[in-house]
């Protein structure tokens, strides 16, 4: 179990359906079973994990349902806990083992503040170098990628492995690329200075001033929802400052660009990802799309014919070009 004890659990669900409005798996299927409400209500009616397997497996863990639930039910935690009782998807179990082996062989973390890049950013070494240079940070060889997979698939986390990871990073300032890991680190290291990649890069003046009013800015959903009350103000400030459109709905919830399960682990976009990305862009005519999460680049490129740039890539652009 990874989640902390919850004061509120599924019995508190009133059936208000507010969580459906923000849930990508509901949006894609329009089937109440495929929603946090559906899971909570099914649990209230005695459904076990096996009955819910398809639904649990379809959740993107975007975390959008957490801040909107008026009953404060920790919905994505509930889903992660339940996923832990399902059989592991074999391809992802293999991935987890691979990441764990790499972590075991990684060099000790360099001194000072650290970047925990995460799998998606690591998959693009040029981008990773740019991010490191911009933030003035070095990457930890062990960035907890195996733990992030375990969180996502509900796999077991070896307490020793977790301790080793946390001992190596405790007491440092951390910028974390994986939204799910970031969320968990906030619980594991309550006093730590932690930032998501998007927030860290977007706070740099060299990047911030290159965000244009004609941009469509795609916030990484997991990191955002994990600290929603604070970050909603951060992004509201960015939106007011730069005038760009964002992937925020009317409730100020970030619509993820992808709607398939395990989006960062299964890199190639699925059909529902394309549909979700099209919905994100519906009615918008941006000159560029700016992303925080490298894993969302591919799907957005497929549905839009404008440049899709990672936040870090803005720094290399000539400011004049940006505002031209």
Partner 1 sequence: MAPDALQGIVRQQTNPARWNGKAWSAFVADLQALGVEVAESAATRGIFATDAGGTAYGLPHGVVIAQSATQVSALLKAAQAHCVPVTVRGGGLTTEGESVAYGGVLLDMTGMSRVLAIDPVTMTVRTEAGIYWHGLAEELRRENLDYLSAPLNMTSSVGGTLGVGGIDVNSARLGCSADQAISLQVVTPTGEIVECSDNENAELFQRVILGYGQFGVITEVTLRIRPYTPLRMHYYYYSSLRTAIEDLQLLDRNDASDYSGILTIMDCAVNLLVAFDSDEREAAFKANWQQRLRGYGEFGFALCMAGHYALRPWRIGEALYLFRRKQAVFPEFRRPEFHRDGRMDDRTVVFSRAVWKHWGSRNMVIPDLATSADKFIEAVERGNKVCRKFFRHYTLYCVGIRLRPEHKPHYEMSCVPPDAEGWAYGCEFEPMIEGEVYSRDHFQSFKNAIYDIGVDLGASYYRFGGMMKGYIRRVFGDALVDRHLAMKRQADPAMILNRDVIF
Binding region for partner 1 (CB under 8 A): 14-18, 20-21, 30-33, 37-38, 41-42, 44-47, 51-52, 68, 70, 232-233, 236, 240, 249-252, 282-284
Which of 251, 242, 266, 259 has the alpha carbon at shortest distance from 322? 242
Least Å distance, CB 198 to partner 1, is: 17
- Asked if 253 contacts 66 with a C-beta cutoff of 8 angstroms, the reply is no
* Residue 65 binds which entry of ligand SF4, partner 1, none, CB below 5-8 Å type-dependent: ligand SF4
User: Do the strands 308-310 and 114-116 form a parallel or antiparallel pair, or are they unpaired?
Assistant: unpaired
CA distance 225 to 250: 15
Give 14 or 101: the residue with its C-beta nearer to ligand SF4: 14
Q: Provide the b/e sequence for 89-121 (b: ≥16 CB within 10 Å).
A: beebeebbeebbeebeeeeebeeeebbbbbbbb
* Residue 51 binds which entry of ligand SF4, partner 1, none, CB below 5-8 Å type-dependent: partner 1
- In this structure, the dihedral spanned by the alpha carbons of residues 121, 125, 131 and 135, taken in order and rounded to 10 degrees, is 110
Least Å distance, CB 46 to ligand SF4, is: 17
**Whose structure tokens read 């946390």?**
166
Q: Could you list the residues that contact ligand SF4 (CB under 6 A)? A: 13-19, 22-25, 36-37, 40, 59-65, 68-69, 71, 73, 75-76, 79
* Residue 73 binds which entry of ligand SF4, partner 1, none, CB below 5-8 Å type-dependent: ligand SF4
DSSP annotation of 86: S
- Asked if 201 contacts 212 with a C-beta cutoff of 8 angstroms, the reply is no
* Residue 174 binds which entry of ligand SF4, partner 1, none, CB below 5-8 Å type-dependent: none
Give 128 or 259: the residue with its C-beta nearer to partner 1: 259
Give 37 or 273: the residue with its C-beta nearer to ligand SF4: 37
* Residue 5 binds which entry of partner 1, ligand SF4, none, CB below 5-8 Å type-dependent: none
Least Å distance, CB 31 to ligand SF4, is: 12
CA distance 59 to 150: 15
Least Å distance, CB 22 to ligand SF4, is: 6
Secondary structure of 184-245 in HEC code, one letter for each residue: HHHHHCCCCEEEEHHHHHHCCHHHHCCCCCCEEEECCHHHHHHCHHHHHHHHHHHHHHHCCE
* Residue 308 binds which entry of partner 1, ligand SF4, none, CB below 5-8 Å type-dependent: none
Least Å distance, CB 284 to ligand SF4, is: 22
Least Å distance, CB 215 to partner 1, is: 16
């Amino acid at each position: 179990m990874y989640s902390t004890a919850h004061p509120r659990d599924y019995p508190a669900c009133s059936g208000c359906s507010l969580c459906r409005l923000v849930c990508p798996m509901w949006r894609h299927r329009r089937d109440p079973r495929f929603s946090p409400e559906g899971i909570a209500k099914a649990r209230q009616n005695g459904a076990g994990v096996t009955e819910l397997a398809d639904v649990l497996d379809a959740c993107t863990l975007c975390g959008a349902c957490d801040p909107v639930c008026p009953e404060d039910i920790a919905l994505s935690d509930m889903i992660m806990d339940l996923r832990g009782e399902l059989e592991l998807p074999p391809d992802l179990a293999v991935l987890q083992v691979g990441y764990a082996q790499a972590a075991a062989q990684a060099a000790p973390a360099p001194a000072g503040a650290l970047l925990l890049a995460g799998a998606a950013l690591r998959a693009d070494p040029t981008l990773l170098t740019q991010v490191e240079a911009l933030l003035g940070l070095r990457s930890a060889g062990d960035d907890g990628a195996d733990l992030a997979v375990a969180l996502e698939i509900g796999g077991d986390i070896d307490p020793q492995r977790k301790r080793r990871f946390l001992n190596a990073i405790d007491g440092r300032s951390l910028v974390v690329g994986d939204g799910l890991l970031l969320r968990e680190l906030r619980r594991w290291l309550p006093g730590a200075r932690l930032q998501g990649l998007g927030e860290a890069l977007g706070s740099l003046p060299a990047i911030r001033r290159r965000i244009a009013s004609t941009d469509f800015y795609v916030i990484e959903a997991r990191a955002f929802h994990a600290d929603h009350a604070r970050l909603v103000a951060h992004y509201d400030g960015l939106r007011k400052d730069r005038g760009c459109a964002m992937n925020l709905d009317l409730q100020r919830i970030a619509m993820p660009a992808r709607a398939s399960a395990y989006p960062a682990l299964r890199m190639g976009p699925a059909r529902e990802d394309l549909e979700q990305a099209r919905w994100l862009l519906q009615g918008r005519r941006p000159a560029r799309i700016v992303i925080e999460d490298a894993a969302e680049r591919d799907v957005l490129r497929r549905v839009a014919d404008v440049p899709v740039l990672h936040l870090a890539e803005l720094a290399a652009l000539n400011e004049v070009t940006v505002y031209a």
